[in-house]
Structure formats: C-alpha cells, structure tokens
Amino acid sequence: MAEYKVPLKDMSFLLYEVFKADDMWQKLPKLAEQVDKDTAQAILQECAKIAEQELAPIARQGDEIGVSFSDGVVTTAPGYKEAFNTYAEGGWTALGGDVNYGGMGMPKMLTALHEEMLCSADISFALYPVLTAGAALSLAKHGSDELKERYLTRMYSGDWSASMCLTEAHAGSDLGIIRTKAIPQDDGSYSITGNKIFITGGEHDLTENIVHLVLAKLPDAPAGPRGISLFLVPKFNVNDDETLGEHNKVSCGSIEHKMGIHASATCVMNFDESQGYLIGELNKGLACMFTMMNFERIGVGIQGLGAAVRSYQNALEYAKDRLQGRALDSKVKGVKNPAQEADSIMVHGDVRRMLLNMKALNEGSRALSSYIAMQLDYATYGEGEEQQKGEALAALMTPVAKAFFTDIGFENTVTGQQVFGGHGFIREWGQEQLVRDARITQIYEGTNGIQAMDLLVRKVASSKGVLLKVFTDEVSAYIDDNQNEAGMAEFIAPLTEAVNDLTELTTELLTKSEANINELGASANDYLHVFGYTAMAYIWARMAQVSLTKQDSNGECGDNFYQSKLHTARYYFTRVLPRRISLIAAAKSGCDCMFDINDELF
C-alpha cells in the first residue's frame, strides 16, 4: 500500500482560490475572532502530520487484530490508545468545539478537511473522535448550562468520548417504535432502561469515561417519533467536584463481528436503570439528535471520500510501477518503454479510464464537500438572508453528501482494486481493506436509499421545489455571469444543460406524484445521483475557471497542478457527467414496472 499523503495543495486551492474562505471568515464576526488564513494553514499542516505519521501506519494492524471483548471490557488494537492520546494532547478533539467550554471554534470548512485526513488514514480510528465531536455539537446546542459545563470541557479535552445510541434490534430507521424507557426520578434525573445495538464506540479503553446520548420514551409519551426524548447517560457518574464516581448501570453485552472497520468497536449496549439527564425538551429528542445526525451524515460522506482518496493514491502508484503488455499504438509510435520487457499499465486506455474516473470524482467530492461545509458555516455564523440561504442549502444537500459521496466512494475503492487486478483481492497490498471499510458508509447513519427519499420527498417535494430553487438559482446566476468568459464555453454549455434537465426532471416527478406518491419512492435514488452529478459539475466549472486564470499568453498553465485540474475538469464533463442521462431516463420511466408485480412474483 502506498504511503498516505495528504493532498494539502488541493485543500488550499479549494479554501483560498475557489471559495475564498479567508475572505468569508473575516466577514463573519464570530469567525473572524477564531481563524485566519495563517491559522488555518498551520492547522492543516499539523493535522497532516498526525494523519500521515501516527494514524495511517496503524490502520493495517488495526484491521488485522481489531477490537477484543471479554467480560464486558472492550480493548482496542495495539497502538490505538497511544495514537488517541497523541491526538487528544494535540488539541484535535477540540477543533470545532464551542469556545465557551474549551473548544477551538474552527469553521466546518476546516474541520471537514481535517475529517477527510482522518478517514483516509484510518476510518476506524476516525470514528472515535468524530462521533464525540458530533455528540458535543448536540449537547452544546440543546443541553443545559450545567450539563455543558460538566461534560463538554472533558469531551473537548479528549479525557472523555461519546457515543450515539439510537438503534434497537426491532427499530432501525423507524425510531418511532423504540422501546427504551425513561422514568423520571425525584432528583430531576431519569432512570433509563433498554437495549441498543450497532453502537459505535459504545465501549473501549481509549478514554476514562464515555458519554452516551440515548433516545428513550417516557411511559406517557405520545406514540411514534413525537414521543422520543434524548438523554445523556455517562458510563461513570460524575461527582459534584467533577471527579468520576461510581460506575453507572451501563454495560456492553457484546461486540459485532463485521465485514470492515475492525478497529472500531461496534457494541450492543445495555441500560439497566441507568442514571440519565434530559437534553433539550421532553418529546423533542429527535430534533436534538438530528443536530448530531446531520453532522454525522456529512461526516459519513467524507468517510467515503477518505477511503476513495487512499484507493486512488494506491492504485496510481501501482499503475505506474506495474509492467504489463505494450501500448496499442506501439507499432505506430514506437515502444514507450524500450528498456523494459513491458510498458507500465498506464499506457492502457481502460486503466487510464479507471484512474481518471477516480481522480475526477475524488476531487469533485472534496470540492463539493467544501461547498456544503461553507453553507453550514453561513448557517451557523451568518446573519439575515446569508444565514437563511446557508440553512436552506445545507438542509438540501446533507442527504446528497451522505449518499452520493459514499456511493461513488465505494465505487472508487472497488475501481482501485480493479486497477490492482489479482493483487487487489489479496491482503498483501491492503487495497481490499478499503473496499471492506468503505462499504458500511452506504449503510449507517441512514441507508442511502433513505437519504434519497429524504432529498426528494422531505426536501424537494415537501417544499414544492423551493429548496431546490435556492441551489439552481445560484448555479443559473453563475452561468449568466460567466457564459461569455474566454475558455469557459466547454464547461458552461454542459452545466447549463445539466441544470435545465434537473429542473425539468423535478417538475415532472412532482407533477406525476400528485396522482401517485409512489413515483417519488421509485425515482428517488436515480434523482439523488442526477442531483449529485449536476452539483459536482457546478463545482468543477468553478475549479476550471480558477485554473484558466493561471494560463500564460500561450494558453498553457505554468504549474502542473492547474494543468491537471483543467484536464480533469474536461474529463469530468466529457466522460462522467453524461452518466446522468441514463439516470434521468430511469427516473422518468415511472413506478408501474415496480408496483405492478405482486410480492409472490419476486
């Protein structure tokens, strides 16, 4: 496996040349106090060192050894505790945290790139701090001052970690039917009883305490999701003097044996009259939890990207070194590598296709992820119309980030495996681990089918297309401003067609759904991918535009980086964006062919 190298130049290109993040930070008063370009660059460089030198080297061992379970105790793989301590001592657990409780208050545009580094290095390790950051976000927004003072400071310091306890054996996506109970106590706390499954980081030896965020219902709560409340349940109770008290009645019943992410502890958690504390209002638990879940869904999308980036780096190094066959045009143009018995597989069209697909989709995903992160920063730190637009775009694009990035992320790990051929299927090269690790990203935090339904039904249809129009209006304005710019025609024309097709598809589906709501469910997955490829085209056009400005009077970019960007942009528009055409045809085909078949005929 190639040594992981953080793509710092591409990250800086996006932050400062494409999105002008440093200008945005200075315009937003709440961010101007926390971050500037020099600070951001120092953070990215130092995080890159941690990812490359501390985390990436332990990923293979973590996969092979995994976590172990004995008598309720979970032990992480060798090297993980030491790596976590190094990570926490560096202050990374506080990167995006509330400054009032010891956090650094960095913008999402920065923490998203930080998360990509962690996930490229080792998704299993990344899950521990990233879940804690998500839980801290929910607690900071909805928790009482007392809870925040007591728990947030220790979560940001890395002394304590957190888990998110939603799923039960009978209740996965339908959280309204959970059975975990919360009984009010005289001291204002609650007694929590129930069982949760698939709990990432529910038990481990990395931190001295684990803060569980648990969904439960009071006995008299309304039926369904309207009766869910959110509770903070610590592994160890905390004394008034902030020291750890007795072990709460929380235990790990077992760990799951999984296809991938072996070094991440996935636990069955038992709550047996555990002491818990209400977060937010009674029966409003889903709203509180969705603060964390939306954070995690974008984070899961970044996990898919992280695995895909590592896959590309591995495959590219292998392709340049692997000698097999001669180029098809060798009889016309001569042998490419006469000193060797064969050419590298880089001469073969199909290998170049696979590598360019990976490159175009990876760089497009990083750029689109940064764009979505920017919307979250406007939603959090902006004001007025700017904040409202950020909230609208973040809501619209959260399911796209989760589902689109993980679908193409998994595709790119498999593609990298294909470049290796038989060597990609065996353990020696480490490529097959990326395939196994990336697979879960399409499943947890809401399967990608559910994300597609969220986009089309809850975001687009429920708003009668208003949310989508916020995005298409921005793209249309960009097209109007740049359609006559020199060199941009090859990007603006297909982008215009793609946006028009997306708008027309949306109108047709919403109209058809008025007669049959199943039209939305049948076309949701195709629709999400049409949206994803179109949104990525918008961002690729913006990257190409910046790269064009670096050309000299002869039309050549002086820097290989910008030349590569332009070539990759052309590849995306020529060979990748047309994927949406078949997806549109499928989405328009209707739902009858799905629902006219009786269950017995499957």
Strands (E) in 409-540, as ranges, are: none
Nearest by Cα to 305 from 398, 227, 408, 435: 408
Strands (E) in 331-395, as ranges, are: none
361-363-364-366 Cα dihedral, nearest 10 degrees: 120
d(CA 569, CA 578): 13
Nearest by Cα to 581 from 541, 530, 525: 530
Cα atoms in the Cβ-side hemisphere of radius 13 Å centred on 519: 17
d(CA 299, CA 123): 11
- Which residues, other chains included, contact 236 with Cβ-Cβ below 8 Å and sequence gap of 6+? 208, 209, 244, 245, 246, 247, 248
Does residue 497 have an active-site annotation? no
Nearest by Cα to 398 from 439, 357, 458, 440: 458
Q: What is the pairing mode between strands 160-165 and 250-255?
A: unpaired
How far lies 8's CA from each of 21, 46, 113, 124, in Å? 15, 11, 9, 22
How far lies 172's CA from each of 217, 229, 406, 445, in Å? 16, 16, 20, 10
Contact 449, 394 (CB under 8 A): no
Q: Which of 33, 445, 490, 519 is the catalytic position?
A: 445
Name the phi and psi angles at 231, rounded to 5: -130, 145
- Which residues, other chains included, contact 287 with Cβ-Cβ below 8 Å and sequence gap of 6+? 142, 280
> Structure tokens of 10?
């591409």
Q: Give, in degrees to the nearest 5, the angle at Cα 163 between 162 and 167.
A: 165
d(CA 555, CA 307): 35
Nearest by Cα to 199 from 232, 236, 166: 166
Spell out the SS3 assignment of 27-73. Answer: HCHHHHCCCCHHHHHHHHHHHHHHHHHHHHHHHHHHHHHCCEEECCE
Contact 155, 136 (CB under 8 A): yes
Number of other residues whose CB lies within 10 A of the CB of residue 151: 24
- Tokens 């913008």 belong to which residue? 107
369-375-377-379 Cα dihedral, nearest 10 degrees: -150
> Structure tokens of 347?
């001469």
Which secondary-structure segment (H or E) carries 138? helix 108-142
- Active-site residues, by number, are 445
